[in-house]
Structure 1
């Protein structure tokens, strides 16, 4: 990145020394890491080759420089640094953990040096990377001073006016702020001492960058940010008394100052998953100003300050478990005396289950380990995947089975003659590719099926045989196929001969009689009226009568459960295979299919009589989960004359309720009136008949 500013060799040597100083003083690195940093300008200048480094300076120095070189190559591909994938790829490229620490120190030094540069575009690019990538890494590592410097400098370069506006405001209010913190702390210290709690209390002003973030988030001016500082109470007590004394301190603070209960954060009872423990409370301090107070012990403060708290994770920068553990290990090594020696042997094994690859345009994508060129093709587009014949990586042609490696730049090769195959499902790794292949195979099967069906129909026409769907279904079953699609696929694949199908059709047609006689509406006059059989599925009295076909009454019928018709609905009859009649609503979901496939079994039907029988009707109700809304619904139903509530089942989720109500009523006019009343209940959004 430094090359964007055209530094001379002497300037780069000086900057390398400054970076080494940051590494030593701020991070605590020495030895091979410092030696590697000092060699960077010479490698860039060509004074020494990477291969020579190992012979002259050892394997450890060579490994660090190799990691830095790989990351430089990654930058050359110019991916978007603000993406989570780029962070992960960068970390997976850094074989030695010191590479990451050198990068952070180098970026801090670079940010310091470019203050007066005229290359505004490069300055902005460097600043964006500092904000999106290096500052969060530094924060996680516990390098808070470097993290704050990176954030403030990036803001200074990217939002010049905002930075200086906040800085001037802070300077103007510093004396008053310090005096206020003192006024807040002194009485608290006195109370703590009286309670026998040993502690020290300090106030800290937020960084310019964090104040700017607050102003952006809350859309307010500087004066609108009330929590410019926080008070931290750090208690010195034995481990077994920690919780008790923290809550005691909390009690003292909230007795002295009015708390805001919505701002209580209890990470004492249940610590964060990253180990952070503390009590946070916001109270109304002197002069009616809100003040954030953090209560923790020396042990808790030490854990938080060492970086385990990982504030950047819950402030919007996403991280992953493996990354967190790895970065915490780095900090732990730095904290221990023997850590620097152990670092020589430490290598990263992060993201072994993921690979990061580039498109020809330089975009960066993440795939699971073992993903292939075919996965990559389907990730771009289904059509590209369906026609994929292989790929080209680093100028070399590879097959569709080639497993991707981090850093690969993949170009997909295609052919219009290529088609998805069943065995491709065993080649791909991602569920996205698998589902797209299955869909393509299914579409191919549908096309082949339509072709086979058309071919079979042509055979029927040529032999002047009238095709019958019901017999055809029997043919398919008799020939051993459970699915119609499998049957037509067998014809398309040449497994099944169309002549054999026709022979089977003629055989079954000779044996089976088409539905006639007693099952046809015209012969229903032969039915004898049996008063005991006139009851419908939910009927309780005999006042409702169905007139079927040519004014025939008294036929044995049932109300279809799929649409639950009631008196007043437009209905039709369907003659079943056993001779009975099922009554469906004309708008039944199954009606179109019944008419299409079995039109000869459809008979007319209509209601007559008084409409006094009761029918079971289910209603779907959706609305706001307000207090008493269920009582309001049931109250309306109970007030209705001759209307019985059979059941009510309500579920509530995220402030909404939905459920089913089953009632007994006489006809559609009563049903429409009930639905209209239920819709008037406050909070009800939708009432529909099921």
Structure 2
């Protein structure tokens, strides 16, 4: 553990003007506050914050950050309030300490919920001051260094997994490469000790066998630079066990098959020198295809700049070389911490490396709960990246597997919400197209467009998924409210009553709801029935209204002269399928069909045709039936619906072609086709056709029956 004088001297070594009195007071304060508390290792608890402060002095961080490191566990683990820290060390330090402090007093349902809530608070705090994250990473690094003292193997593995999933990507995002590698290795040691030990053993064997191979390659590269008249500094090292293991897993090869386990770095004076050094290497050694990356012209999102290349280098060894200037090297080592050294005062940055923080805040705004935020945060951080360009040349970094919708949301949330199509490299592509490195993406949008629930199936960024889920939640609630309002008013009207806002507001307490809109939403989602609400508003009716025992099928079956449209049913046009209403997959109802709804608790209403056989299962549950209808002039009448046909088609050349031609000529569109039976003479199949309404499907059926290749065609009902 660092002694008081030693810590102060460390800070003074790079900041002679530091407030020594503040550091001394904080050191004494933390030792007194933690008193006789002990860590799992048996050391005094105050040794932990002191060591965290020591780690941050290695990054030459400012006085406020060092004070925060010393005090970061005070609020959580002692009875010291934040106000006391503000009184002794100022409001700035108090805010930083509060940002790092966990929500230890918050009672949550599960350990995962607690973890999620902690990260939610951490991201909110670090958006105000990135130094909160620097302290948090140093805190986690020291905890990982002492992880072996925790007796519970399950707890050690949970902490290591959390470190790998959250803290390692965070360290990478802010450019703290040193922290990232050590956190990876310490987590790897706990999660897969056998693999790590095996790699270390093999590395030890190679080191003995190769002796001074690394130094010989460094000397050769130095000579290469000197012979070309370029001043440069060359260093080299063996890659970390986790990095080597990751390459083995990614390439699915054994250790012996890896040849690029050595990494070398060439530091030069200027950017032109960096490209000159690259030219020297490429002219003298064979280049490994696909291993060159220019992060100077296209920096990483965290601001990292360097040239990377793979070579068959000196002595025919495959090596990786990084070329950068001194300023780039300093940033590569310290990352965002380089902007917060004592000399800088105010961070000197254009903000590009903080874009991901703003995106995480956007996710935070749209996530429904902390656990969803944690899920989307992992999606946002823990993936390889592809770099794409806007039509104006702006670089957008996305996770591998991202689609144009992810790109649209990365550019701007409104652009994502209204996205209708995309062009990649000038060519129109589907919205589910997976973007590749270097793609130029042009997003087409329309103000009439809204996010589609289907987008969530192929979007991969946390921001996009959070926005889509938020829209679905809001749209579902509004549709539940609309449907529930209709159900309640019609139920009251059936009994000659009126559902007034005042009457409904009077029973909110009984159902533990906050407003009348919430009551409508509960009825629309099926969590409450109209009858339950009516009897709550008019409790005196309970004895008068006898229990309904009507036969729903008999009541709702069409009369011989019945029209397709039922004016007394609740209209469902305008409601988005998949939200409050769902079209049954057993009968595929179409606009113009006689329809009825079955309420599913918590999921809204499933729409069936009145003659659907599935309805027999709900014969004894009249409370779940709702009479539905199509509107006379629905807004969504132009939307296509899916009807299913069962066909038997002759097995002859051109048979399927004739089938698709007839459907296309009559305005239909085949969305799916499945063969259910194959025989030498005939094919039996199910065909899903997009049509406007039931009449449109009837017209297509009539045209198919007139086609010689089609033996039989019927609308599929099951």
What TM-score results when the alignment is normalised by the length of structure 1? 0.49
